[in-house]
Amino acid sequence: MNRAIQGYTLIEIMVVVAVFAILATIVFPNYLHARNASWKKSCINNLRQIQGAVEQAMLVREGTIAYDSLFGASGYIKTKPMCPVAKADYTLDGSTPKCSVEGHALPE
């Protein structure tokens, strides 16, 4: 009774690894581009929400608006948003919210 041992050869395993490597080189840059585009859109949406809160505050109050007064129980937005890229707070330049990451700005 002579049974042949079945298994994969080294060449077959190398071909499978090469196919996975080629797929990874195609998919990974597209994933990074999609992630960065998503983060930018999320940041711009946060800026829009802050801009809306500033406009609401300007209807009620006169003068300059303190950034921290826009958030919390007595503010216009419940929680303070953060940029998903920089993980930092936004700032107010007059009445316009700004992000520290280049390219993250409200459209004009």
Chain segment 13-46, per-residue pLDDT in tens: 999 999 999 999 999 999 999 999 999 999 999 9
Minimal CA–CA distance to 61: which of 74, 49, 80, 73?
A: 74
- The pTM score is 0.77
Instruction: Locate the domains of the chain by residue range.
Output: 10-98
What's the CA angle centered on 74, arms 92 and 46, to 5 degrees? Answer: 40
Q: Is pLDDT at 64 greater than 90 in this prediction?
A: no
